[in-house]
Each structure stands twice: as structure tokens, then as C-alpha cells.
Structure 1
């Protein structure tokens, strides 16, 4: 049967429930969010003369929870206007409304007795065929559906979102005893295609896959930190970005998630997994018990492993359980990996370390490798699901079996045994069968070792994706030090940046021009996209700084003109060019998107022209392009200055969108032309599809614009008065004013006496002159230097 989701009901509006409701609103689904009614009035309600029968009182809990969620940072919603898709109510008055929804998601407190009462109510009101799922993080699914109707049980399973629901990609689907295959297949596909998740079908075992392995890893470190006499700063240094984990590493992550949440899951595993060979590891160490007793749960209680006092961050001494100033952690082994860009390539070096760091990595990875091998087939029959769960649910760049492959399967077994652990027998059987790795790449697809057949099987679901890691070498057409051009099939090329942070320097510009040359001669279209953490943080400001310091202004002028000319080639080539931004898309990365025939942006795209932060204006066509876009919006009898001012402020305030959708509000993406993809894994394939569609529709090379209306002195005067007032009010510095006035001159089209139609090249010349003149300013050089050293803007 065909199943569509137009409306969902979320029962339970706490942090998780509100987050799930917001994410469904993000993708355009209507949401009914329900919670219990209050048992008593607040003082404020009593003073207003309200009663327990007042609607505002009866919906107070759900409305407060949702409001708090919408105010939280990072935001659970792509755009605040999407919150209108959520309707609130309570489980006493509004439960009957679930008869009109397609999917009911239960997100109430983790108590089986309460959940069973809720499911009894749901069974009473739901329409047969409606999906019912629980967001439980550990209660066995088969307990929850006991006593429910046959139709309920057929359409019931667990769907475990990870918090925060918008950002963490793992979507565990846990079948009940009678869940139909159709329901599982539907949810698996819906999670991937519509929710933008990594769907993993898990077994109904305690904590499922993600939390079983993730909590093991954290508990293992809790014990190891005492055994090796490590500080929490040292552990966070060792378990953060250096091994492809989030910056919050271990202890900061626990503070954010909440120690009480972690303890709840760990206790559940300890109580329900007596046969687990690592059973005793899930027993909480004394220092954790003391923290729980003190209610030091982390961010939610103001202190955990870290505590903020005024502007200082204090760390917990695990021996004395007293807070002290944070200590800087450093290890010789980590220094050896500084020249290795990709975390997956660092593990061989880290595990060979002769200092405390090397010992730590051998102990922790030996325990992890042994544990994951022994969880098959208990929690999953397929090893790739464990890797997927850890990457999507815990933000690991590489899963445990991928890391094990990176150091070599035999070497991994050697380390496991040296540390006193025992790997599962199937690992040795795998090697004996002639399979030397857990994964292989064949014909652009990933294969995994299947224990049942003792052979490599293709990981399912890849057909909707283009995975650049799998085709980079086999489909390479051309490369230099900064980028690779790949043939992604059907006459479409892809340009993938390879520079540090995907900055745009001469090598990347050369690759873009080469890619356009090749596509115009032999191919159909071009995509500019990559699958790194961020699309691009902008131009190589280190190169700009060196030229400016050496006063090589002619060379700098040539470099900026090359950047501008390359952006104009993106706009005016004879083939369609689609840009696929995601993550940080700053400065030059944003300018590239502005010049594309179409932008296929990930929902998590943080786009902005941030050049003011380093003391310049956008010089790669960004200032020109927003002037052009303002001109295209001028309408008869409109106040044109207001439209231009909006675009001026987008640059002058260095506005950065907090999602792809918000980039439409700032004018950096355009309705009717650019689109958003929720699942980043599908982005390159989607961009390719749109390049093909444009080519097949008969793409015509655009004609260069010479009809851009600029307002001259009329606009310039308004902007200059505005910057004077901002300086007088001490909102900006003298140098901020200077930069803003340069931008004003460009976007006004100069000090023309009346509104005039000009060409793009006219504006590009003004833009370049302004950029170069700012590069001669000492305060601009100070800003660039500070950004290069500290990684954040300087206000001077």
C-alpha cells in the first residue's frame, strides 16, 4: 500500500518530544503536540483568576516546553516561521484528534507503566493502519505492545531519535514481535529520504545499538581515567577531533547530554545484560555515584565535569571532587599526527605511541574492538549497522570496524589480546576465509563482510547516494593540490575541494576553470560539491595577508580579479553549473553559490558573507551580486532604498544563516531557483540530477547583465548618515565605519548624481578597488592576522 505522512502526533513535549515535533515541522509536516494537564495553578495563574479548567492552564505544560525548545540554541527548527506547523494540546482533551493523524510518536517519561497507559489511550482513538512508535531509549519494545489490538501491534515499533533530533542523524528502528515488514520498510525509507537520517534497523536488545556501544565506550573511559590517573582535560584532548570525534569529546558531551541520562542507560544495561562479558564495566564508579548524589548532571544543573564561574571554565578533579582551573593537556604522540589531515589515517600512529597517549589508545581501542565484535549477532547481524549507528548517533567520523580496518584486522587482534580481551571467533574465521578486511570498495560501492555467508556483500541503500570517497581515485579526471575533478556519470563532472578547511586559493580557482573547460568541451554539466565537514570557509586569507604585508598590490589585484572572473565563469559558462553547499559556507564559498545556475543546499548550511570580520568587503563578486539581486527586486512605487538596505545589512552585519532555509530570508538563496536537501548524503546525487535536468531541457548560456539599477548619491547619502549614527552610538568602531562606507560606495554604484543602469563588470571593478584599498589599512591586517591565529574575528 502507498503510505504518506501528512500529519503526526507527538505525545510528550519535553526536550526530546518538542525536538521531534520541530523536526517534523522542519520538513513541512503538520504536527499535533500533546502533554498532560497541570495538577495545580501557578501563582501567576491564580492572580489572573484562571482555573484548572482554563484552556491556557490545561495547555500550559506543552506550551512552555515548546516555547523553551524554540528559544534554545542551537535551534531545533530551521526557521522560526515553521513553528506555525505545530498545534499544541493536552492528552485529556485532545487525544481524540489523533484519529486524523498518520503517525503517533510516544515520547513520555521512560517508565513502562506510564507508557502502557498512553498506548491504551492511543489504541482507543487511533484509526486502523495508523503508525504508532515509541522513542524509548532502552525499554524493550515487546513489553510495550502487550495487550494491544492486533492492528496496533502490526503497526507498532520503536523509532529512537537521538537528541537533538534536528542535528543527530541516527534513527533506530526497533521492530516489535508483530511489526509488519511493510511498516519497517516504510520507516527505513522515510527516515533516510524525508527526515534526513541514517536509518538503522536494530534488534530489541537493551539500549539497542547506538547507546549500547556508545555508553560502553564512555563507561570504559570512566574506569580507564582512574586506572591511568588521567585528568578529564587529558581524556577530552585524546577523544576529540584528533580521532574524528566532536569537539565536546567525552566529558563535555556527558555534560551536554546530562549525566543522569547516561546513568539511566548504563544502569539499564547493567540490570538487563547479565551475560554481557563486560557486565561489570557498566557498574558506576564511585566518583559518578557521588556526582549523581550531588546532582552535578552537567549543563542542565550548571555543573558537571566542567563548571562555568563568571568567564572561567573550571574542571572537576576526579580524586578530590573539587573544581579547579582547567589545565592544558598535551601529548607527544598527538604532535606526530599534526601533518595527517584525515583522522582515519592517524590511528596507526596513535596506537604506536610510546607515551601515555599511546597506552591510552591501545587500552581503549582494544576494549572497543573486542566489545563490538562480541555484540554480533546479539545486537545486530551486520557489522556496518554498528558503524552507521556510532557515526550518526555519536558524531564519530569513523565507526569502530572502520578504525579497526585502518590499523589492520590482524594488528587489531594482536592489541586486543595484549590488553587481556578476547575478540569474537568470527573475526579469526573471517581472516581464515581469505577476507582480510571488514570493508572493501568495488565499482564505487561499499561492501561489508557478512558473517553468515563468509563473503563481502554490498551495503544496502547506496543507490540513492554518490559517495565521493568510493569513486575519488577510480573516476578522477584531473587534480591538483587543492581539488579533484571526478566523473560522476551521465556526462556530469564534480569538482571536490581538497584544501585545508576547503579554503579557496589559486589551486582551487584553477580547478574550477579546468572543470568548466572540460565540461564545455566533453561533458554535459558540472557540480561543485564535496562531502567534508564544511563546504568552504572562504578565500585563503593567509595568501591575501602575505601579499598585503609585502605590499604586492598588483599581484593581489590580479588574484582578486582571477577570483571574480572565475565566479563569472561559474555564472556564464555554456553548461549548467550546480553548487552544493553544506555546513560552513562563508565568504568565497558563499560567493560561489551566489553565481551558480542552481544551488542544491543541505538543510544544515550556514551561509554568509563574513568578510567584515577580517576588515574587507566581499571581493569575489558577492557585493556586486547582492546589488544585482536588490535591483531585480525593485518594483514601481516601491521604496527602492529599503530593498537595497536589506542586502547592504546582510553584508555589513555579516549575517550567517543558521540553516539552509534561513538563507532564503537573507537573500543568499533564491525562491524558485535554489532548493534544500534534508539528507546531506543525497546532496551530490541530487545536484547531479538537477544539472542533468537543466542540460536536457536545453541549457542556454546566459547573457551578461548590463541592466543593473544603482541609486548613486541617493543611496550613498543614506548609508553614510547611517554609519555616522552607528559610530556616534558606539555600536561600531571607526574601522567598521570605514569598511561599511566602502561597501556603501560599491552598492550605491558610486556617487552617481542619479539612478543609473550599469553592468556587472562596472560593479566588480568598484568592488575590487574597495577590497584592495582596505587591504592597505593596518587595522584590516590586524583583523586578518588575528583570524589566522585565533580563528575568530577581532573588533578594532
Structure 2
């Protein structure tokens, strides 16, 4: 049996933006990291690394899952600390893209590499095989490329680039570590310049730049066309260039020009004159405050190439083009884009045509399968569909004919012929057997590596359908199913997985069924979020209709459902990823255990709409505070951090921070790969069931902070009100939150039960819901999606 790769400690060489952020993500995942750079010329020899670590705190989005992790990275320099490399199981080199510098560094570290350690370069475009030659012969089988995308914490893609001599077992061990420990989507790339993601992604941007000029469009207009309307990120094309940095963009383009002299599209691998002009003026994009776009007061301005000056950005999509882009049928959409005489439609068709042409032409040289290309572009560039998926959905044969026709008419960016396999009678590159490989000439299935068994539902490519499991019951609001493993799974079907009457009934039914026929129950959603909370539109409707009894009954049902989760005779596990807000947060608080993906944004946010948590959340906080304080202890001190989080409607920026806010418990699990949440939750349910699970005993004697606690919280609120940090209605809401948390107007140290606390929650929730200012907040949030301060 092959020994497993165990990674206790990782060295990252190079404390530049990427190296420092890779180190940050390693500690996010609980992996010890040592960050190396050159010794500083003056002062502390680790000055360069320490400055880089301080710089991470200023980056947005935040590289660390919690500010507290910033001290977990060990700073080091090449003069004093090379001995530390002997303790490292993995060494990731992330220095500047200069082959001579990299080779010098490899010679320097060679004698200190442990006999089992893997060495990987995070280069984005240099030859991995050329680097391998600089390493000792015994290290070469343990060397490969691993290319993280920026920012490493958030971008799912990691490209793995084997060398000629890389040991297959080493690659599989590293792939397993990247997928399960660091939460990445791994794609194997061939050792060609820019690998897969940047080769195709940067070409896509270059073709957009070329056609922007050819069709005489504005940069703001192009961004309106090439963002969410195409299933791509909001930053679209030119805003993305600003975020990446125009100097970085020009460097990547130059790398393509220098390293791909024989590419049929080579003439387009140059930074346009306007891009070079902006760089020479020091307008490098977001990092310098101006680039293609710049902010003027609250307005966004865009560079106008003809005038060589900025103008207000308007960027509108023509109504007739918008109508085409809204069509649900991809084949109809592409036919109309190509046939339209509007320059925006012609521009879009031209961009897609040249992207499809380029990707098909280069598939064999850059990737093993079409799936690798599509996943690389989705995971690395945030597209909803990769180029091959888009082409196939639009009608493979028809689009291929159009590309060929446009080629004959001299419209394509290059006159290279499409590969023969494109027109061999196929309907696409993805089918039930897998995805097309030019090397084998047939469809290849997904990797059989054991780590992927942890992904019950993988991120699918076009046409992939996972077995949905056996349905136990299904309603308009929920589906309950299982895989024959004794663990039932419940998923919500509402928009944003909000909690409706149907969801509450579904949870109660699922627990009834699970107690009778299963060993455990998992609450899990096939897509993010976990739950955006209660269905506010349903609540406001019954309020406005004057149905107060119905409204109060709904709140009672919500609380009963949370209690049912907590006191179920089989363990109920919450598998959280994405947002778990309001009621979604309360459900996971009542579960036997929560399994949270690192990117989980958890919070009790009801104060934002003028309400308080009433699905048992405040009751649960009071119970937890009393337990933490112990008999006769200081309950108020335990409540204080909770109060601040709830009154301010704080949402954690990660699962790690949710633990710090105590919305997750110390024994709740955090995982990095969102696709493993269901697997881990089911193993937790099984483990608890197998160890003789019993629900907690009902909390009959909860010590509360009482009237003194309420008075102390109110004093804090008065100061905030007088300082105009909060409005009078904020004061009202927060005072009621404090009243419920402290167990009401009873003596400090009084003992109450859960029913008492739940009744308090209900009373204050219903009272707030009837107030005009709360109703204004709810309606404003429903209409705009933003909170109202009134």
C-alpha cells in the first residue's frame, strides 16, 4: 500500500503578494507555514517578510480567515534559516518570474530539502521542466509546478503541472492535499506558457480588447456587455484588468509574445497603445487609484481613448441586444447575436467566435481534456460556463460551421484551420462517458483518485448529472433523500433557501422520519447559500393583513422547529457553506454539530430589519452564556460579545471568525473544500450515532443576568444614542435584544427555563414587528436588498 502524503509544515519561498497570500491560506487551513525572503539590508534580518505580513492586513478581500491568524506564519530569511527547510514536507517557491533567480535559489536550497519533501514552483508561465534541471537528481521526481490563482484564499483553481520525471504518486499526494486540505479545484496542465487558465483567459481578454477597437465601443460599454449578462464576474473585462494591475496585465501579454512565437494569433500578443500610455503615466489600475476607470467623488469615470481623457462612465447595453442576451435558449441566442446588425451584438459574436476558435486549436497542446479547460476558466476566472460548455450548449455543429464560414470571409482573428476532431460528426466535447481528450481521441472519465470520493456531488460540467439519491419525501419547499447509508439529507427548495412555512413543516417531518427510519439527519443545500433566513415577504404579508395571531403562531412554529432540531433523538448535523443568516444561523446553533466550509458567512442579522432573533437564537445564547459562566458565575461577561454581534447584526467573514463570535461552537468542524461539506457532515452524523448519541437534557435552570444585566446594556446604548452612533429605533431594538438575552426583568442570578426565554423572544419580536419603523425597514430591505437606517 502506498504511504500517504502527510503535510505538517510548508515553506513558502518569496514574500511577494502571491507568496505571502499562499502562506496566509496555509494557516487558514491549519497548516504550519514558514515564509522566506532575502535578509533585509538594515535592521531586523526578517524585515522584508515582516513588512509583507503587515501588508496582508491591508488587502481586500482579506487573505486571512481571521486577523488572529496573522501571527501564525513564521518569518525567515535565506541567510539564517535554511535549516528550517529540513522540517518541511512541502516547499512552494513563489519568487519573481525570472528563471535565473529561480535556478540560483534552487541551488541554494538543494542541500536542505528533506528526503521526502515535495518541491513545487508557483510560476505562472515559466517552463517547469527547465527549472527541474537545476535541482539535485534525487529531488526531481518530487518536483512539479503548482499554480495558485490570485487571491489564493478565494480562487478555487490550482493548476498542477508535472515534469517529465515527476513521480505519479507524488502528484496524487499533492493533489489530495490541495483538494481536501486547501479546498482547491485541481486541474492538470501541460508545461506550456501560461498553462491553461491564463493562456485561455488572457487570450479572451485580448480578443475583447481587439474587438473593442474594431467595433468602436467604449470600455464601460464593453464591461456592461461582458459581465453578469454573459455569466461572468461583475468586474467583466476592463475592470478586471484594473484590479489585476495594468502593469501586471502588460507583463503577462509580453510573456505570451516572448514565449509563443509560433502561435497563429501572435500578432495580437501586444499591449495596445492606450494601455502602454496609461502605464507610462503611472495609472496602473486599482492599486494607484486610477487606470481604465477612476473614482471622482462618488462617480466612476472611464478613459476615453479618442479624447485621451476621462469621462463619466455610462456603459449601457442596447435594448435590442439586451433582449437577445436574456433569451434562455443558447442556440437561439447565438443565432440572433450573429445575425444582428447592431455593433454590440456583432462584437459579442466575434469575441465568442475567436475564443472558441483559439481554445479548440490549442486544446491538444495545453490540456488532457476539454473538461480541464472549462473547469480552469470557471474556477480561475469566475465564468459560469467554460468556452467548450458555452459552444456545446449553443449547438456544436452549427457554431463550428459559422466559425469556418467567418474564417473563409477573413473575419476571424487568425486563419488557422479548426482541428479535424471539431467536425468529425460530434455534438460536443462533454457526454455521459466523460470529456473529449485529443490524445486518446475519445471521452475520458473523471479522476478516480480517492479524494474525489469525498465529493458526493462534484462541480459538474455541461451534461453531467449526479445520481440524486433515493427520495424519502418531497414537497414544494423541501426534499428529503438518502444513499442507503442510514443518514437522511434534507435540502430546501425556496429562493436563497429562505425559511418559509413549508420549510418549517419539512424540517419537522424530516426529523419524524429520521427518528423512525434513520440514524441521523443532515441539513444541506446543493448550492450556496445555506439559508438567507426567514421569508420576510411572507411575514410582512400576514402583518399587514392584520393577522397577528397567524403571525405569532408562525414565530412559535419557528421556535418549535429549532427545539425539534436540538432535541431530536438522532443527531441533526448542519452542513453550512455560504451565508447562514438569521434563521439559517439559528438552525445550525440548534444542531448537534455544524460542519462549516471556511467561506461561511454566519450571523444573526435581524436587527438590520428592526427585529430580533426569535427562532430560538437569543434563548440559545442565554443558555450557552449560563453554561460558560458556571453556577454562580458572571453571566453578563459571557453575554457581552454576543450582544455586540447581535445588536450590530455582525456577519462573520469566515467560519473561523464565526467561532470567534461564538456563533459556531468549539467542537464544530471547519473544512476548506465546500464540495466536501456533505461528506463530512454525514460522517459526523454516523460517528455520533455509532457512539450512542443522546440529545442534551432540557435546560431547566438557566442562570440569567436579569435586571442588572439589562440596565448595564442600556447604559452602553444610551452613550451610543447620545453620540449619535445609533438611532432611537436602533436603541429600541437593541434594548429588547438585551432584555431577552438577560432573561427579562428578574433578579440577577435568577434561574429560568428555555420556555421562559422562548416566550420572551416571541413577545418582543411580535412587539417590534408591529412598529411602523420596523415595517419600513422590512419593506425597504425587500425592495432594495439594502438595510434602512431610520
**Same fold by TM-score, threshold 0.5 exceeded?**
yes
* TM-score normalised by the chain length of structure 1: 0.91
3-state SS in 2 of match to 1:376: helix
2:676 maps to 1:676: no
Q: Which moved more, 1:567-576 or 1:181-190?
A: 567-576
Alignment equivalent of 1:729, drawn from 695, 719, 723: 723
Using the TM superposition, name which of 418-427 and 176-185 deviates more: 418-427
Query: Residue 315 of structure 1: which of 295, 302, 313 is its match?
Result: 302
User: What is the CA-CA distance between 1:2 and the residue it aligns to?
Assistant: 4.1
2-structure distance, mates of 1:161, 1:35: 19
2:523/2:573 contact within 8 Å kept: yes
Distance (Å, rounded) in 2 between the aligned partners of 1:450 and 1:430: 16
C-alpha displacement of 1:6: 1.6
After superposition, residues 204-219 of structure 1 pair within 5 angstroms as 204-219=191-206
Q: Quick check: 1:790 aligned with 2:781?
A: no
Aligned to 1:31: 33
Q: 1:334, 1:542 → 2: CA distance?
A: 33
Q: Note closer, same or farther for the CA distance 1:372–1:513 as it changes in structure 2 (3 Å cut).
A: farther
Change in Cα spacing, 1:36 to 1:540, as seen in structure 2 (3 Å) is same
SS at match of 1:603: strand
Aligned residue for 1:699? 693
1:588: which partner in 2?
583
Partner of 1:128: 115
Aligned counterpart, 1:644: 639
Look up the match of 2:742.
Answer: 748
2:370 maps to which of 375, 379, 383: 383
The reply on whether 1:87 has 2:91 as its aligned counterpart is: no
Deviation at 1:349, TM superposition (A): 5.7
TM-score normalised by the chain length of structure 2: 0.92
Q: 1:204 & 1:131 partners in 2: Cα distance?
A: 18
Rounded Cα–Cα distance in structure 2 between residues aligned with 1:411 and 1:512: 47
Deviation at 1:158, TM superposition (A): 1.3
Partner of 2:573: 578
Aligned to 2:352: 365
Distance 1:317 1:520, change over 3 A: farther
Give the CA deviation at 1:285: 2.3
Q: Distance in 2 between matches of 1:385 and 1:359?
A: 29
Contact 1:430 1:454 in 2 (8 A): no
CA distance in 2, matches of 1:88, 1:533: 36
Find the aligned partners of 2:332 and 2:506 in 1 and give their Cα distance. 32
Of 16, 19, 31, which residue of structure 2 is paired with 1:17?
Answer: 19
Where 1:291 maps in the other structure, the secondary structure is helix
Q: 1:638 to 1:700 in 2, by over 3 A?
A: closer
User: 1:71 and 2:73 equivalent?
Assistant: no
Structure 1 pair 753–171 and aligned structure 2 pair: CA distance change class (3 A): same
Q: Which position in structure 2 is the counterpart of 1:438? A: 429
Q: 1:231 is matched with which residue: 189, 199, 218? A: 218
Structure 1 position 603 matched with structure 2 position 594: no
Query: Hey, what does 2:660 align to over in structure 1?
Result: 665
Q: Tell me which residue corresponds to 2:230.
A: 243
Cα distance in 1 for residues equivalent to 2:476 and 2:238: 37
Residues 601-645 of structure 1, C-alpha deviations (whole Å, 9 max, x = no match): 001111111111111111222122212211221125642211122
Partner of 1:717: 711
User: Is 2:364–2:438's contact at 8 Å kept on the other side of the alignment?
Assistant: no
Q: 1:426 to 1:37 in 2, by over 3 A?
A: same
Report the secondary structure of 2:6's partner residue. Answer: coil
Structure 1, gaps ≥5 residues long: 40-51
Partner Cα separation in structure 2 for residue 598 and residue 198 of structure 1 = 26
C-alpha distance 615-668 of structure 1, shift in aligned 2 (>3 A):
same
**1:202/1:209 contact within 8 Å kept:** yes
Distance 1:146-1:330 versus aligned 2 partners, 3 A rule:
same
Relative to structure 2, which stretch is displaced further, 415-424 or 251-260? 415-424
Equivalent in the alignment of 2:174: 187
**In structure 2, do the counterparts of structure 1 residues 560 and 134 end up closer, same or farther at CA, with 3 Å as the change threshold?**
same
Kept in 1, the 8 Å contact 2:97–2:123? The answer is: yes
Q: Which residue of 2 aligns with 1:299?
A: 286
Residues 447-462 of structure 1 correspond to what in structure 2 (within 5 A)?
Answer: 447-460=434-447, 461=449, 462=452
Residue aligning to 1:278? 265
Q: Give the CA deviation at 1:388.
A: 1.8
Q: Which moved more, 1:156-165 or 1:525-534?
A: 525-534
Q: CA deviation at 1:194?
A: 1.1
Q: Distance in 2 between matches of 1:709 and 1:471?
A: 50
- Deviation, 1:107, is 1.2
CA distance in 2, matches of 1:364, 1:485: 44
Aligned to 1:507: 502
- 1:18 Cα deviation from its structure 2 partner: 0.6
SS for the counterpart of 1:574 is coil
Q: Distance in 2 between matches of 1:224 and 1:284?
A: 14
Does the CA contact (< 8 Å) of 2:496 and 2:532 recur in 1? yes
1:405 Cα deviation from its structure 2 partner:
3.1
Question: SS in structure 1 opposite 2:490?
Answer: strand
- Given that 1:520 and 1:575 are in contact with CA atoms closer than 8 Å, whether structure 2 keeps it comes out as yes
Partner of 2:650: 655
Residue in 1 that maps onto 2:511 = 516
Q: Please tell me whether residue 97 in structure 1 is matched to residue 87 in structure 2.
A: no
Deviation (angstroms), 1:566: 2.0
* Distance across 1 between alignment mates of 2:663 and 2:600: 11
Offset of residue 681 of structure 1: 1.1
CA positional deviation for 1:430? 5.8
**Could you tell me which residue of structure 2 aligns to residue 43 of structure 1?**
none
CA displacement at 1:690 relative to structure 2:
1.4
Given that residues 364 and 439 in structure 2 are in contact (C-alpha distance below 8 angstroms), is that contact kept between their aligned partners in structure 1? no
| 1:323 shift after superposition | 1.6
> Matched residue of 2:97: which SS?
coil
Partner of 1:170: 157
- Mean Cα displacement is larger for which, 613-622 or 471-480? 471-480
- SS of alignment partner, residue 233 of structure 1: helix
Q: Tell me the distance in 2 between the aligned counterparts of 1:336 and 1:543.
A: 32
Looking at structure 2, the residues matched to 783 and 106 of structure 1 have their Cα atoms a distance apart, in angstroms, of 51
Q: 2:766 aligns with which of 764, 767, 772?
A: 772
User: For 1:722 and 1:147, how far apart are their aligned partners in 2?
Assistant: 64
Paired position in structure 2 for 1:47: none
CA contact under 8 A between 1:333 and 1:358: conserved in structure 2?
no
Answer yes or no: is the 8 Å Cα contact 1:370–1:424 preserved in 2.
Answer: no
1:69-102 C-alpha deviation (Å, 9 max, x unpaired): 1332221112222233211122223234323322
Report the CA distance shift for 1:585/1:359 in structure 2 as closer, same or farther (over 3 A): farther
Unmatched runs of 5 consecutive residues or more in structure 2: none
Give the direction of change, closer, same or farther, for the CA distance of 1:59–1:702 in structure 2 (3 Å limit).
closer
Counterparts in 2 of 1:455 and 1:702: CA distance versus 1, 3 Å = farther
Aligned mates of 2:469, 2:4 — CA distance in 1 = 39
Secondary structure of the 2:153 match is coil
CA apart distance, 1:475: 4.1
Matches of 1:598 and 1:336, distance apart in 2: 47
- Counterparts of 2:402 and 2:617 in 1: how far apart (Å)? 53
The aligned residue for residue 492 of structure 2 is 497
* Superimposed CA distance per residue, residues 429-459 of structure 1 (whole angstroms, 9 cap, x where no aligned partner): 261xxxx343345xxxx83234455544321
Compared CA separation, residues 486 and 276, structure 1 to 2 (3 A): farther
SS at match of 1:370: helix
What is the deviation of 1:274? 2.7
Alignment deviations for residues 483-529 of structure 1 (CA, whole Å, 9 cap, x no partner): 43333441323222333322222333333233333333333322111
